[in-house]
C-alpha cells in the first residue's frame, strides 16, 4: 500500500485496537472504583440505556472471540469440558466458562465480575443457557430481555411493544440498583451519536459496491464493526467511525483495496474461524478474493437495511434494532438478503462458512447452499470449521476446497459466464 | 382390552413411518385434519380448539434412513431434527396440514424456516414463548402470540373457536394430563407393577391419537397396573433426566430397567405433561392459557427457570420419589440438555445424589455400552451406598 504517502491508512484497524484497549482498561479498573458492571450480548444490545446509569459493559462473546484470535481459547474450552460441558456445545460459551474458572484473566485484561446480567437474547437461544450458567457461577442478578424472533417479513408491532415494555421495566430496575434517575435527554443525545456512527458504518459497508472494492466487508469488517458493537454510548464510538470513513475515502480516492488485485468478489455467510483467522484469510487472499458483503457483520444490527437508532423514538427504535439483528431474522429473510448482496455488490459467488458452535447460524445453511446453487445458479462454496474451537479447523481440507472453488470460478470467467445473481 | 393389546396398539401408532392410522383418520368421515407438533410443548389447546388434531412428532426414530435430509442439515444437528425433516422430504407427513415449532432451541427455530421453504403451502409456524418471567408484559404478549396462532390455524380449519370450545378442550386435556399424572404416581409408588416399557408406549401414543379415544386406554391400563401384585426386585430407584425432546428408543428404556433400575420419574414426552396445575375452565381462555404457560409449566431445560435455577427443582424431584440416583440420559447434540447437565450435575453432587450421564441417538442400535455403564452404576449403589 505504501502507507507513508497516505494520511489515514491503518486507522480503521489501529484506532479500534487502541479504543478497545482503553475499554478493557476501564473494565479492569471498575471493581476498585466500585463502579457497576453489566454483562450483555452483542446482538440487539442496549448499551446506551445502561451506560447512562454508569454501568461498564462486558460482552462475553467479544472476550471469547479475542481469546480465539489470540489463541488462548483452546485451554479454556478444555477447562469447561472438564466441568461437564459437552464437546458438542458452543465454543464461545465454553471459552467464557473456562476463562471464568481460570481467574478471568483474558488476553485483553482482567474481566470484572458482573453486578447485573442482561440476557438480551436476540437471535440465539444459547445466550439463555449461557447467562443462566453465569448467574449461577457469579451469583449475580439476571434479567431476561426477551426479544421475539422475526418470524414474518415485516416487524410485528406487538413484538416491538413487548420489547419496549421490558426496556421501561429495565430502566426502573437500573434506577433502583444505582440510585440514579433515568435521563431522557442524555438517552436521546447518546442515540443521536449512535445513529451518526451507524450512518458512517453503512457508508463504509456500501463502499464495497465499487469495483474494485476499497474494503473487505468480511475480513476487515469484523474489526471495523467492533466499536459499534461495544462502544455505543461512549464518545469513542462516533469518533472512530469518522476516522474509519476517512480511511475508506482515501482508499477510494487512491484506488487502494484490501488485496493487490481484485480478481473475485464474494458474499460471505457465517462467522469466521477466530483461532485461525489469519490463515483462513490468506487462503482467500492468494486468489485475489474480496468479500464485498457479509452476514456476520450484521449480527450486531442490520444498519445497511435501514435499521437506525432514532432519538425521536428512543425506546421504539431500540426495540426495533433488537429485533432486526441478522440471526434474529427468519431464514427466508436471510436468504433474500444474501441474494440481494450477490446482485447489488456484483459478486462472483457465495462462501458459506458453517460453524458447529453456532446452530443459530448454521442450521439452514446447507439448504441455502442448495437454493443458491440449484435455483439461483450462484456458485456457492460450503466450508465447515468452528468459530472458537481450534480443534475443528482442518487447514489442508479447507485449502483444497477453496482452491478448487476459485479454479472453477476462474474457468467460469474465462468462458464469459455472468456475475452471480444474474440467472442465465 | 388387555394391557398387552393396549401396549401393542399404542406401539403401532408411533412405530409406523407411514402414519397409516393417522391417514385413516384424515380419510375418514368426517375427515380429521391434523397438525404436527415439534417437541417440547406446543400449544395443542389452540390446535384442538380450531378443530385440528395436534400430533406430537418425535422424529423418525429407527423407522427411517436419513437419505435426503443429510444434504440439508449438517451432521452436528440433533437426530430428531434430521429424521423429522426426512419424514417431510419423503412425503410421509403429507397427511399433515403443517408443523408447529416452539422456541426451545435454535435448531427448532431454524427448522421452521426450512419447513416453509421446502413445503410451501403448508403451515410452518414458530411459536415464541416469553422467557422474561418478571415482566408484566409477558402474559399479554403470549396471549397475542397465541391469538396469532389461532388465526393461522383457523384459516386452515375454517373454524373460529369460541370460549366454550376452548373450555371443552381444556377440560379434555386436563383429564388426559391427570390420567398421565396418575400413571406416573402409580409407577412412583410401585414401579415393579408399572414397568416403563409398558407405560411409555401408551403415553407416547397419547400425543398422537384423538385424546378422547386415548383416555379410556390409559384408564384401563391404570386399572390393570393398580391390580397387579408383583414383587419388588433388588433394583435401585432412579429418575431419568434429559430426554424431554428427542426420545430414547424403547429398547434403551428397556436396557435401563434390565440393568437394575426402577424409573420413578423422568422427563420423557414432557410436552404432553407440561402443566403442574389443571387449566382453568372459566374466563378468557387465551389469557388463561398464556398465564398458565408462564406460571404453571414444569421445570425444563427449554424454559428459563428464574433465579433459583433448575438444580433445586431436580433435587426436589429426586427426593420426592426417594431416588437413589439420577440418570442423565441426553440426546446427542441436544444443546439445552447438554448445557443444563453441567449445572444440574453440580446441584445433585452438592446433595450427594449419585448420577450417571450418557448420550443416546434415536437411531442407536446397540446398547451394550449403555448397559455396562448402567450395571456398574447400579452395582456401585447397591453394594456401596
CA distance B177 to B307: 28
Among all residues of chain B, which has the CA nearest to that of A356?
Answer: B76
Rounded to the nearest angstrom, the gap between the alpha carbon of residue A382 and the centroid of all alpha carbons in its chain is 20
User: Which candidate in B84, B102, B135 is best for mutational testing of the A interface (most A CBs within 10 A)?
Assistant: B135
Among all residues of chain B, which has the CA nearest to that of A368?
Answer: B72
CA distance B381 to B325: 8
CB-CB neighbors (< 8 A) of A93 in chain B:
339
pLDDT at A6: 82
Q: Which CATH class is domain B17-159?
A: alpha beta
What single-letter DSSP state applies at residue A114? P
Q: What is the pLDDT of residues B97-119, one digit of tens each?
A: 999 999 999 999 999 999 999 99
- Among the partner residues B137, B333, B341, nearest to A162 by beta-carbon distance: B137
CB-CB neighbors (< 8 A) of A128 in chain B:
131, 304
Give the B window 277-306 contacts with A, CB below 8 Å.
Answer: 301, 304-305
**How do beta strands A105-106 and A109-110 pair?**
antiparallel
Cell 444474501 belongs to which residue? A338
Sheet holding B325-331, edge to edge: B261-266, B236-241, B325-331, B355-360
Q: What is the dihedral of CA A20, A21, A23, A27, to 10 degrees?
A: 140
CB atoms B117 and A84 under 8 Å? no
Nearest chain A CA: its distance from B184 CA (Å): 29
- Per-residue burial over B84-98, b = 16 or more CB atoms within 10 Å of its CB, e = otherwise: bbbbbbbebbebbbb
Among all residues of chain B, which has the CA nearest to that of A165?
Answer: B137
CA distance A288 to B175: 67
Q: Which residues lie closer than 8 Å to B349 by C-beta, 6 or more apart?
A: B355
Sheet holding B96-102, edge to edge: B53-56, B34-37, B96-102, B123-127
What would the grid cell of residue B275 be? 402443566
B194 touches B183 (CB < 8 A): yes
Nearest chain A CA: its distance from B130 CA (Å): 6
Asked if the C-beta of B366 comes within 8 angstroms of chain A's C-beta atoms, the answer is no
CB atoms A367 and B72 under 8 Å? yes
pLDDT at B265: 98
Sheet holding A349-355, edge to edge: A289-294, A264-269, A349-355, A380-385
- Among the partner residues A125, A132, A363, nearest to B77 by beta-carbon distance: A363
ipTM of the complex, rounded to two decimals: 0.96
Nearest chain A CA: its distance from B382 CA (Å): 25
Q: Which residues lie closer than 8 Å to A167 by C-beta, 6 or more apart?
A: A46, A49, A145, A315, A318, A319
Q: How many helices (H) and strands (E) does chain A have?
A: 17, 10
- By CB atoms closer than 10 A (0-12, 13-18, 19+), residue B159 is middle
Nearest chain B CA: its distance from A385 CA (Å): 11
What single-letter DSSP state applies at residue B279? P
CB atoms B135 and A89 under 8 Å? no
- Among the partner residues B72, B106, B133, nearest to A126 by beta-carbon distance: B106
First to last CA, chain B: 42
What pTM was computed for the model? Answer: 0.96
User: Which candidate in B77, B110, B112 is best for mutational testing of the A interface (most A CBs within 10 A)?
Assistant: B110
CB-CB neighbors (< 8 A) of A166 in chain B:
132, 135, 137
* Residue A152: CB atoms within 10 Å: 13
CB-CB neighbors (< 8 A) of B113 in chain A:
330-332, 334, 364
Q: Which residues lie closer than 8 Å to B29 by C-beta, 6 or more apart?
A: none
CA distance A199 to A237: 12
pLDDT at A416: 78
Among all residues of chain B, which has the CA nearest to that of A334?
Answer: B113
Give the B window 116-155 contacts with A, CB below 8 Å.
Answer: 116-118, 125-126, 128, 130-138, 140-141, 144-145, 148
CA distance B349 to B355: 8
In chain A the domains, ranked by start, together with CATH numbers, are 3-167 (3.40.50.11890)
User: Which candidate in A146, A158, A170 is best for mutational testing of the B interface (most B CBs within 10 A)?
Assistant: A146
Among all residues of chain B, which has the CA nearest to that of A382?
Answer: B74
Per-residue pLDDT tens digits of chain B, which is 385 residues long: 899 999 999 999 999 999 999 999 999 999 999 999 999 999 999 999 999 999 999 999 989 999 999 999 999 999 999 999 999 999 999 999 999 999 999 999 999 999 999 999 999 999 999 999 999 999 999 999 999 999 999 999 999 999 999 999 999 999 999 999 999 999 999 999 999 999 999 999 999 999 999 999 999 999 999 999 999 999 999 999 999 999 999 999 999 999 999 999 999 999 999 999 999 999 999 999 999 999 999 999 999 998 888 999 999 999 999 999 999 999 999 999 999 999 999 999 999 999 999 999 988 888 999 999 999 999 999 987 6
pLDDT at A418: 65
CB-CB neighbors (< 8 A) of A359 in chain B:
77, 105-107, 110, 335
CB atoms A89 and B109 under 8 Å? no
Among all residues of chain B, which has the CA nearest to that of A148?
Answer: B128
User: Would you list the domain boundaries of chain B?
Assistant: 17-159
* Residue A410: CB atoms within 10 Å: 14
Closest listed residue to residue A99, CA positions, set A120, A74, A123: A74
| Nearest-5° Cα angle at A39, A38 to A40 | 120
What would the grid cell of residue B236 be? 435401585
CB-CB neighbors (< 8 A) of B81 in chain A:
363
Q: How many helices (H) and strands (E) does chain B have?
A: 14, 8
pLDDT at A1: 46
What would the grid cell of residue A194 be? 449512535
Strand ranges (E), chain B: 34-37, 53-56, 96-102, 123-127, 236-241, 261-266, 325-331, 355-360
pLDDT at A424: 39
Q: Which residues lie closer than 8 Å to B219 by C-beta, 6 or more apart?
A: B179
CA distance B334 to A152: 26
Residue A289 phi/psi, 5° resolution? -90, 135
pLDDT at B363: 84
Strand partners, A289: A264
Sign, CA dihedral B60-B61-B65-B66, equals: positive
CA distance B91 to B293: 33
CA distance B219 to B222: 5
Low-confidence ranges of chain A (pLDDT < 50): 1-3, 422-424
Rounded to the nearest angstrom, the gap between the alpha carbon of residue B383 and the centroid of all alpha carbons in its chain is 34
Asked if the C-beta of B114 comes within 8 angstroms of chain A's C-beta atoms, the answer is yes
B115 touches B99 (CB < 8 A): yes
pLDDT at B10: 98
Half-sphere exposure of residue B51: CA atoms within 13 angstroms, side-chain side: 17
CA distance A382 to A402: 9
A-B contacts at Cβ under 8 angstroms: 162
Give the B window 157-216 contacts with A, CB below 8 Å.
Answer: none
pLDDT at A423: 46
Amino acid at each position: 500500500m505504501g502507507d507513508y504517502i497516505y494520511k489515514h491508512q491503518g486507522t480503521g484497524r489501529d484506532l479500534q485496537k487502541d479504543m478497545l484497549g482503553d475499554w478493557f482498561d476501564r473494565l479492569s479498573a471498575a471493581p476498585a472504583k466500585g463502579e457497576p458492571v453489566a454483562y450483555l450480548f452483542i446482538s440487539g444490545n442496549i448499551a446506551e440505556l445502561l451506560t447512562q446509569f454508569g454501568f461498564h459493559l462486558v460482552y462475553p462473546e467479544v472476550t471469547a472471540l479475542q481469546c480465539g484470535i489470540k489463541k488462548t481459547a483452546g485451554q479454556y474450552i478444555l477447562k469447561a469440558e472438564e466441568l461437564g460441558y459437552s464437546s458438542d456445545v458452543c465454543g464461545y460459551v465454553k471459552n467464557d466458562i473456562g476463562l471464568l474458572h481460570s481467574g478471568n484473566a483474558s488476553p485483553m485484561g482482567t474481566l470484572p465480575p458482573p453486578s447485573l446480567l442482561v440476557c438480551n437474547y436476540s437471535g440465539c437461544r444459547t445466550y439463555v443457557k449461557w447467562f443462566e450458567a453465569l448467574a449461577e457461577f457469579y451469583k449475580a442478578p439476571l434479567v431476561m430481555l426477551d426479544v421475539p424472533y422475526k418470524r414474518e417479513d415485516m416487524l410485528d408491532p406487538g413484538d416491538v411493544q413487548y420489547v419496549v415494555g421490558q426496556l421501561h421495566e429495565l430502566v426502573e430496575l437500573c434506577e433502583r440498583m444505582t440510585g440514579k434517575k433515568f435521563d431522557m435527554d442524555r438517552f436521546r443525545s447518546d442515540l443521536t451519536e449512535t445513529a451518526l456512527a451507524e450512518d458512517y458504518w453503512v457508508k463504509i459497508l456500501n463502499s464495497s459496491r465499487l469495483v474494485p472494492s476499497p474494503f473487505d466487508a468480511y475480513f476487515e469488517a469484523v474489526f471495523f464493526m467492533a466499536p459499534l458493537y461495544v462502544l455505543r454510548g461512549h464518545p469513542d464510538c462516533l469518533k472512530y467511525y469518522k476516522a474509519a470513513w476517512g480511511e475508506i475515502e482515501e482508499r477510494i480516492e487512491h484506488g487502494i483495496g484490501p488485496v493487490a488485485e481484485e480478481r473475485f468478489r464474494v458474499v460471505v455467510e457465517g462467522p469466521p474461524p477466530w483461532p485461525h483467522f489469519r490463515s483462513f484469510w490468506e487462503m482467500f487472499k492468494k486468489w485475489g478474493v474480496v468479500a464485498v458483503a457479509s452476514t456476520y457483520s450484521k449480527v450486531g444490527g442490520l444498519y445497511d437495511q435501514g435499521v437506525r437508532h432514532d432519538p425521536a423514538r428512543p425506546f421504539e427504535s431500540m426495540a426495533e434494532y433488537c429485533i432486526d439483528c441478522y440471526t434474529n431474522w427468519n431464514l427466508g429473510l436471510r436468504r433474500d438478503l444474501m441474494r440481494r448482496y450477490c446482485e447489488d455488490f456484483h459478486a462472483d459467488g457465495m462462501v458459506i462458512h458453517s460453524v458447529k458452535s453456532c446452530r443459530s447460524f448454521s442450521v439452514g445453511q446447507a439448504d441455502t447452499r442448495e437454493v443458491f446453487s440449484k435455483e439461483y445458479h450462484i456458485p456457492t462454496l460450503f466450508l465447515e470449521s468452528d468459530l472458537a474451537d481450534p480443534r475443528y479447523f482442518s487447514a489442508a481440507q479447507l485449502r483444497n476446497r477453496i482452491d478448487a472453488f476459485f479454479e472453477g470460478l476462474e474457468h467460469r470467467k474465462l468462458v464469459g459466464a455472468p456475475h452471480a445473481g444474474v440467472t442465465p | 382390552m388387555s394391557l398387552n393389546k393396549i401396549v401393542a396398539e399404542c406401539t403401532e401408532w408411533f412405530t409406523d413411518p407411514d402414519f397409516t392410522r393417522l391417514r385413516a383418520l384424515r380419510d375418514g368421515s368426517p375427515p380429521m385434519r391434523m397438525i404436527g407438533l415439534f417437541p417440547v410443548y406446543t400449544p395443542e389447546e389452540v390446535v384442538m380448539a380450531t378443530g385440528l388434531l395436534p400430533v406430537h412428532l418425535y422424529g423418525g426414530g429407527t423407522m427411517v434412513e436419513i437419505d435426503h435430509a443429510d444434504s440439508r442439515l449438517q451432521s452436528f444437528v440433533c437426530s430428531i431434527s434430521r429424521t423429522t425433516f426426512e419424514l417431510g422430504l419423503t412425503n410421509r407427513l403429507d397427511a399433515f396440514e403443517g408443523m408447529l415449532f416452539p422456541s426451545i432451541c435454535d435448531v427448532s427455530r431454524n427448522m421452521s424456516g426450512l419447513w416453509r421453504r421446502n413445503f410451501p403451502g403448508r403451515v410452518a409456524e414458530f411459536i415464541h414463548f416469553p422467557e422474561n418471567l418478571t415482566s408484566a408484559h409477558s402474559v399479554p404478549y403470549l396471549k397475542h402470540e397465541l391469538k396469532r396462532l389461532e388465526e393461522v390455524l383457523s384459516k386452515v380449519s375454517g373454524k373460529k373457536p369460541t370460549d366454550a370450545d376452548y373450555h371443552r378442550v381444556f377440560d379434555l386435556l386436563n383429564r388426559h394430563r391427570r390420567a398421565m399424572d396418575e400413571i406416573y404416581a402409580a409407577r412412583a409408588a410401585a414401579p415393579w407393577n408399572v414397568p416403563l416399557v409398558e407405560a411409555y408406549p401408551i403415553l407416547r401414543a397419547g400425543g398422537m391419537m384423538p385424546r378422547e379415544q386415548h383416555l379410556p386406554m390409559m384408564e384401563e391400563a391404570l386399572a390393570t397396573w393398580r391390580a397387579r401384585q408383583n414383587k419388588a426386585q433388588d433394583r435401585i430407584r432412579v429418575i431419568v433426566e434429559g430426554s424431554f425432546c428427542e426420545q430414547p428408543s424403547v429398547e434403551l428404556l428397556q436396557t435401563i430397567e434390565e440393568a437394575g433400575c426402577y424409573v420413578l420419574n423422568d422427563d420423557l414426552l414432557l410436552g404432553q405433561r407440561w402443566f403442574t396445575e389443571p387449566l382453568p375452565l372459566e374466563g378468557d381462555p387465551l389469557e388463561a392459557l398464556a398465564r398458565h404457560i408462564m406460571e404453571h409449566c414444569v421445570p425444563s431445560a427449554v424454559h428459563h427457570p428464574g433465579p433459583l435455577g433448575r438444580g433445586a427443582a431436580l433435587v426436589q424431584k429426586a427426593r420426592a420419589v426417594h431416588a437413589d440416583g439420577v440418570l442423565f440420559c441426553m440426546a446427542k447434540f441436544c444443546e439445552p440438555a447438554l448445557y443444563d447437565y453441567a449445572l444440574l450435575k453440580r446441584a445433585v453432587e452438592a446433595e450427594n445424589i449419585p448420577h450417571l450421564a450418557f448420550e443416546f441417538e434415536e437411531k442407536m442400535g446397540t446398547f451394550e455400552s449403555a448397559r455396562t455403564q448402567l450395571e456398574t452404576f447400579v452395582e456401585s449403589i447397591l453394594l456401596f451406598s
